[in-house]
């Protein structure tokens, strides 16, 4: 009887040890991923590959509108941000000159961000319904936000070569964010550019039409690697042009995140 108890104790100790090693390895790989993403975002902040945009960012900070006069503008390339273990990746178009470019974080302090953050909070991907400043405690959970390009362009219109320059960072993020199951490009341009990046990564993607609320399951089996599947969910961009004209309503936008939740609950 006593001998049996000894075996049970030993078994419990071994299980505890294995679990601790598992936690430690998990934490080490998590730290490694956080470090790699951090290094990538540091490179982004230092980037000056697009001279037109570098000049434009300086112009913005020296011609502030009255409502933001006196604020210290970020006016550098904007790093992506969020949960390194995210299953949901949101792809914006470009930072807003008086929004993210001012506050130093994508979508923070602009009208599109108010819509996006509100929806993310409502569906459990953020801890606050809005974020006006980079240091207000806003955090994403299971969600990561990036963009097609990371410098605010004049008239919100990046040039094709600027998109190509910036694609390198997005491709690297696709490699690092291995747990991503659902990608939501905001608007048609981000949708087209996301498809192009996924094709470059080896996903075999046919020509796909853009409209609001479509679900496109995509898969990739690269040589020597496991099958990777992601679902693309399309939406109109929550720009003022779309939200003020009623092209995109709150109900339509929330419907997208309901689909995202449903997809994750199905196992992605
Ligand atoms: S848009 Fe991208 S590639 Fe061009 S300068 Fe900004 S961060 Fe660099």
Query: Following CA atoms 97, 99, 103, 109 in sequence, which dihedral angle do they give, to the nearest 10 degrees?
Result: 170
Question: Domain limits at 189?
Answer: 43-265
In a domain, residue 245? The reply is yes
In tens, the pLDDT along 18-28 reads 656 655 566 66
In tens, the pLDDT along 210-238 reads 999 999 999 876 655 677 899 999 999 99
Mean pLDDT computed over every residue of the chain: 92
> What's the gap in Å between 167 CA and the centre of ligand 1?
9
pTM of the complete model? 0.88
pLDDT at 185: 98
In a domain, residue 7? The reply is no
- With a Cβ cut-off of 6 Å, ligand 1 is lined by 44, 47-50, 53, 77, 149-151, 162, 165-166
Q: Count how many domains the chain has.
A: 1
DSSP letter assigned to residue 115: H
In a domain, residue 27? The reply is no
The protein residue whose alpha carbon is closest to atom 4 in ligand 1 is: 50
Residues 6+ apart with CB under 8 A from 64: 70, 71, 73
In a domain, residue 110? The reply is yes
Mean of the pLDDT values across residues 39-64? 97
**Residue 109 — very low, low, confident or very high, per pLDDT cuts 50/70/90?**
very high
């Amino acid at each position: 009887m006593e001998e049996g108890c000894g075996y049970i104790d030993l078994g419990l100790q071994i299980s505890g040890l294995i679990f601790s090693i598992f936690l430690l390895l998990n934490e080490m790989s998590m730290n490694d991923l956080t470090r790699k993403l951090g290094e990538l975002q540091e490179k982004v902040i230092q980037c000056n590959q697009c001279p037109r945009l570098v000049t434009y960012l300086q112009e913005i900070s020296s011609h502030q509108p009255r409502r933001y006069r006196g604020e210290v503008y970020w006016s550098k390339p904007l790093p992506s941000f969020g949960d390194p273990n995210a299953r949901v990746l949101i792809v914006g178009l470009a930072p807003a000159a008086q929004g993210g470019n001012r506050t130093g974080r994508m979508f923070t302090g602009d009208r599109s961000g108010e819509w996006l953050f509100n929806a993310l909070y409502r569906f459990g991907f953020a801890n606050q319904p809005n974020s006006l400043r980079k240091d207000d405690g806003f955090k994403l959970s299971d969600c990561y936000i990036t963009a097609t390009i990371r410098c605010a362009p004049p008239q919100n219109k990046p040039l094709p070569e600027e998109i190509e320059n910036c694609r390198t960072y997005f491709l690297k993020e696709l490699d690092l964010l291995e747990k991503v199951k659902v990608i939501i490009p905001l608007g048609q341009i981000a949708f087209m550019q996301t498809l192009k990046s996924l094709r470059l990564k080896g996903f075999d993607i046919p020509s796909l039409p853009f409209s609001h609320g479509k679900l496109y399951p995509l898969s990739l089996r690269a040589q020597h690697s496991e099958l990777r599947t992601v679902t693309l969910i399309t939406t109109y961009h929550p720009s003022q042009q779309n939200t003020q004209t009623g092209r995109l309503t709150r109900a339509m936008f929330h419907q997208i995140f309901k689909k995202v939740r449903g997809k994750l609950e199905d196992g992605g």
